[in-house]
Amino acid sequence: MKSPLTLPLSPTGRGRRREGTEISDFLRRKLRYKLKKTISYIHYKEVKLALICCKILLDKK
């Protein structure tokens, strides 16, 4: 019996939730971009280190 009473309230809640998700989506996108940037930077550093290590190993041989 409780479910029909909550139905009229659901559209407004959905609307509010949508607004909230829009903001969170924007923040998430921003965070994801920052993460991608940092990950790519770290990856670049790792590749550089790997190349240096390879150079040292080749020089030793």
Region 9-15: mean pLDDT is 51
What is the pLDDT, as a whole number, of residue 1? 47
Q: How many residues does the chain have?
A: 61
Percent of the chain having pLDDT more than 90? Answer: 5
pLDDT at site 48: 92
Q: Report the SS3 class of residue 61.
A: coil
Retrieve residue 38's tokens: 């940092």
pLDDT tops 80 at residue 11: no
Residue 10, domain extent: 2-60
**What is the C-alpha to C-alpha distance for residues 16 and 27, in angstroms, rounded to an integer?**
17
- The pair of structure tokens assigned to 61 is 């041989």
* CA-based R_g, the chain, Å: 25
Better pLDDT: 35 or 11: 35
Count of structural domains within the chain: 1
